[in-house]
Structure 1
């Protein structure tokens, strides 16, 4: 299952790496693809993810999930 999230505030490869690291730690996540230019994060997972968990992981990395 893939879900795309919009993230505000990412500007560089370091931003992408931080978001990828935090989101990858969520249980069930199998892959994370971050596109800084588009401001998007595509998360592949075994099952539907709790948006609150994704939001918390992105916030931990220092960015904001945009609805």
Structure 2
């Protein structure tokens, strides 16, 4: 299953990597990707959307599903 999140606050490649790292730390995530230009992150796996949003917010970015 692929989940796409809207992520605001990413301004550089380091921000994208921070979001990817936060998402990949969530149980059930097999792969994550972030795109600062599109303000999105996509996640493959079985993780709950609430957990994904929470992980991104804990990393310091605004997120919504």
**Fold-level match, TM-score > 0.5?**
yes
- Structure 2, unmatched stretches of 5+, are none
In structure 1, distance between residues paired with 2:37 and 2:62: 15
Q: Once superposed, which parts of structure 1, at least 4 consecutive aligned residues long, lie more than 2 Å away?
A: none
- Report the equivalent of 1:55: 53
TM-score, normalised relative to structure 1: 0.88
SS, match of residue 6 in structure 1: strand
RMSD (Å) for aligned C-alpha atoms: 1.1
TM-score, normalised relative to structure 2: 0.90
In structure 2, distance between residues paired with 1:10 and 1:22: 13
Question: Within 5 A, what are the aligned runs for 1:33-52?
Answer: 33-45=33-45, 47=46, 49-52=47-50
- Structure 1, unmatched stretches of 5+, are none
